[in-house]
Amino acid sequence: MPEAPTAKPAPVCGYAPGAHREALEFIEHVTANAGKVQRRVLAEILAQNAPAEYLRRYGVFGSLDAADGFRRLVPLVTYEGLLPDILRIANGDTSPILSGKPISEFLTSSGTSGGERKLMPTIADELDRRSLLYSLLMPVMSQSVPGLDKGKAMYLLFVKAESRTPGGLVARPVLTSYYRSRQFLDRPHDPYTAYTSPNEAILCVDSYQSMYAQLVCGLVHRADVLRVGAVFASGFLRAIRFLEKHWPRLCHDIRTGELDSSVITDRAVRDAVGRVLRADPALADEIEAECGRPSWEGIIRRLWPRTKYIDVIVTGTMSQYIPTLVFYGRGLPLTCTMYASSECYFGLNLNPMCKPSDVAYTLIPTMCYFEFLPVHSSNGNAEPTHRDLIDLIDVRLGHEYELVVTTYSGLYRYRVGDVLRVVGFKNEAPMFRFVRRQNVALSIDSDKTDETELHAAVSGAVQHLAPFGASLVEYTSYADATTIPGHYVLFWELRAGSTAVPASVFEDCCLSVEEALNSVYRQGRACGRLIGPLEIRVVAEGTFDKLMDYALSRGASINQYKAPRCVRPGPVVELLDARVQAKYFSPKCPKWSPGNKQWNNTKAELVSNGDAA
Ligand code: AMP
């Protein structure tokens, strides 16, 4: 098998501070030779994991033909398919089940299976691969934004308490694992990644103390801050809301130079913040003057005047936060720099200052072996198999694919569940737009509404609120099967405007959502038997914060938390229902006619699909 031309190999755990040219050369090299690099990566994974029982089970051994055997024999798999192996590892079986290297810990993904968080086994080397990807971020960013070494970054980063599996392995979110690693904690000084948050504040498992301490430090350094951010937009906005609530207390601490001892009880955090906090009444006055103004529009620019951009992920469903970020940032660019998961870190946005709607991620071919499952139209019923898979360099512009990865940690042809669209190429390597997470669906009957469709429908409907100055802060949905027929419920948290919104306008919103949903849904509604009128339940301000607190108390991590777009019956729906202030229903059926384009090829199809609906 031909090897990739040997350019200087990348340093194992990433490029040294300032080695921007080398890092950019690495990106050039691996994207220009993506096909060859991918073949080498597959060969490396199979050689490293030759002892793994999983590969042997499928007849793949670490010989020269391993790659060929892999391509022919290893099936597509989902988390559920791996669960028996994962549980063996969790229960203490240390034999090489998935990986030839020892499993160092479990990463707890935000995805769930059977109501439980997914557990991703990982190996120690993966931390180096993650560090390598991180080390590419500033070289790429500095091409667009010069001078980022002349100040600090206020990034709000959090860890979560760890647990242990019955077999004794640590289980924690991937970012907790990274922030606790030597790769992060012993990183050499880099003027491009000088954070305002001390490590002790990041590592504090009490998220209230951690947030408080990080914001104090961010405010103390306000004159030096060049960029602000968090991992996902939701986490950053949570910080802004925290500030809205607690700024008088934070200012008091800055005025006196003393941390409120009733808030910060963690000794290490107190000491770390104490190293930067000095009594500074003038700074406290400035911050109070900004925070005390009636409108918080542009508060980020006002509090951190040298900020050049807000670094948060706003792709996927996070895009609904864009208007709020634009409000607080008064037009500050929003940058989405990277695409990653607990299974593996995938790639980078090589044009990070582009508009959020133009964000495309280039998968870095050294991270894992990538394959792609074409997304079939909804009437393609056959279960996909590994024979449908396409290699990284063979994907086609404009086409959508589900991402499938084979990792050094020992996932083989694992369906990540993300749908990506090819929007361009960097050399040989495709660039992908994040389209949606697969299988997040509302369904009452044979209708299926995915997250993207729901999001578009909700975005259209909320336009009805604009004349009243009201806007949607957050939403989720629920297929309420307790009514007959069942119906879709949307929980909306609103920011009130100057005028009260009449009930008829909310009813228009209900209908507008329904009109925007797919024809199977509208048919189910139009016939009146299968799906009941869509309902909007307006919930009290702060409800979605409570929902996040609930998720955190159940083990979610602030960094990875995303408000669920669909919820299932149970405690979450109870939490939401307990805060409902008003309910509105769609006043009539959405339009539907039998001549729908999707089904009108033959009469037989029409009939059978009509039956199905
Ligand atoms: P987790 O395993 O909890 O870290 O979640 C990983 C998932 O988060 C990915 O599979 C994506 O669905 C989502 N995600 C990660 N990065 C991005 C991004 N840049 N844009 C959109 N979604 C993302």
Q: Three-state SS for 263?
A: coil
Query: In whole angstroms, what is the distance from residue 348 CA to residue 126 CA?
Result: 17
CA of 562 to the centre of ligand 1 (A): 10
Number of C-alpha atoms within 13 angstroms, CB side, residue 403? 32
Question: Sign of dihedral through CA atoms 409, 29, 15, 176?
Answer: negative
Helix axes 20-32, 125-144, angle to 10 degrees: 110
Q: What's the CA gap between 40 and 272, in Å, rounded? A: 45
CA distance 160 to 123: 20
Ligand 1 center to 502 CA (angstroms): 38
Q: Are the CB atoms for 324 and 317 separated by under 8 Å?
A: no
- Residue-level pLDDT at 530: 76
In single-letter form, the type of residue at position 493 comes to E
Per-residue model confidence (pLDDT) at position 8: 72
Give nearest CA residue, ligand 1 atom 9.
341
Tokens of 369: 């072996």
Q: Which residue has the tokens 């909700």?
A: 458
Q: Which two tokens stand for residue 463?
A: 């336009």
C-alpha closest to that of 202 among 221, 175, 225, 182: 175
Identify the three-state secondary structure at position 92: coil
Where are the extended beta strands (E) located within 481-548? 487-495, 535-539
219 Cβ below 6 A of ligand 1 = no
Q: Is 310 a pocket residue for ligand 1 (Cβ < 6 Å)?
A: no
As a whole number of angstroms, the distance between CA 220 and CA 240 comes to 16
| Nearest alpha carbon, ligand 1 atom 20 | 315
DSSP 289-350: HHHTSS--TTHHHHHSTT--EEEEE-SGGGGGGHHHHHHHHTT--EE--EEE-SS-EEEE-S
Closest CA to 31 of 396, 429, 374, 358: 429
For residue 332, report the phi and psi dihedrals to the nearest 5 degrees: -60, 140
Residue 235 is predicted with a pLDDT of 81
Q: Rounded CA gap, 424 and 430, in Å?
A: 6
Residue 434 near ligand 1, beta carbon < 6 Å:
yes
Listed as ranges, residues in the chain with pLDDT below 50 are 1-5, 115, 377-379, 595-613
For residue 65, what pLDDT is reported? 83
Residue 461 and residue 477 in contact, taking contact as beta carbons nearer than 8 Å: no
How far is residue 101's CA from residue 124's CA, in Å, rounded to a whole number? 9
Q: Which of 231, 320, 434 to mutate to test the pocket of ligand 1 (most atoms within 8 A of CB)?
A: 434
Q: Are strands 449-450 and 471-480 parallel, antiparallel or unpaired?
A: unpaired
Cα 310-205-155 angle, rounded to 5 deg? 15
Alpha carbon 106 to chain centroid distance? Answer: 19
Q: Tell me what pLDDT residue 609 has.
A: 30
Is 11 exposed, middle or buried (CB count within 10 Å of its CB: 0-12, 13-18, 19+)? Answer: middle
How does pLDDT run across 31-73, given as a tens digit for each residue?
999 999 999 999 999 999 999 999 999 999 766 688 999 999 9
334 lines ligand 1 (CB under 6 A): no
**Residue pLDDT, tens place only, 276-287:** 999 999 999 999
DSSP code at position 77: B
DSSP 206: -
Q: Is 340 in the pocket of ligand 1 (CB under 6 A)?
A: yes
Of 139, 140, 142, 181, the C-alpha closest to 159 is 181
Give the predicted TM-score (pTM) of the model: 0.78
Sign of CA dihedral 80, 81, 87, 90: negative
CB of 316 closer than 6 angstroms to any ligand 1 atom: yes
Cα–Cα distance measured from residue 235 to residue 206, given in angstroms and rounded to the nearest whole number: 15
Q: Nearest Cα to 495, choosing from 470, 475, 461?
A: 470
Does the beta carbon of 341 sit less than 6 angstroms from any atom of ligand 1? yes
By alpha-carbon position, which residue is closest to atom 23 of ligand 1? Answer: 339
The pLDDT of residue 610 is: 29
